[in-house]
Amino acid sequence: MEKIMNENDIRNLLPHRYPFLLIDKIIDLKKHDFLIAQKNVTINEPFFQGHFPDYPVFPAVLILEAMAQATALLDFKSNDRPKDLLYYFVGIDKARFKKPVYPGDVLMIKVNLIQSKKDVHKFTSECKVNDELVCTAELLGAVRSKNDT
């Protein structure tokens, strides 16, 4: 699949950096509708030293974080946002984990915008590995100024 955004493009929109930048590329996008992202899960990720040393499994909470980063990218690509804004992950509902994710897997993340009210947005999201569903969730994100306290 062709990249719509590479890691450098993503780094220009998100404040996250290694090891917490969990999106490698964007492969499809329709503004104000959906985004499909990819995360290559490698054994070199630092959390595999402790999760779990003899049976490495990608932490489920990081699957949710990857989904949240994908929602932020959809918002920032859909709207002309000033640079002083951050996108906050503010809520989650109906999270379900169907299968574990392992080193070597390619995690495909799809987020769909389902509702927007002012600066708060609701999304459905699903993650797949080899076209098999591994996680679903509903996420809430909010846009805030970096200067808000």
Q: Are 39 and 14 in contact (CB under 8 A)?
A: no
Locate all alpha helices (DSSP H) within the chain, ordered by sequence: 7-13, 60-78
For residue 14, the 8-state DSSP code is: -
For residue 13, the 8-state DSSP code is: H
Catalytic, 51? Answer yes
Angle at 32 between CA 31 and CA 35, to 5 degrees: 60
> Active-site residue among 16, 32, 51, 121?
51
As annotated, the active-site residues are 51
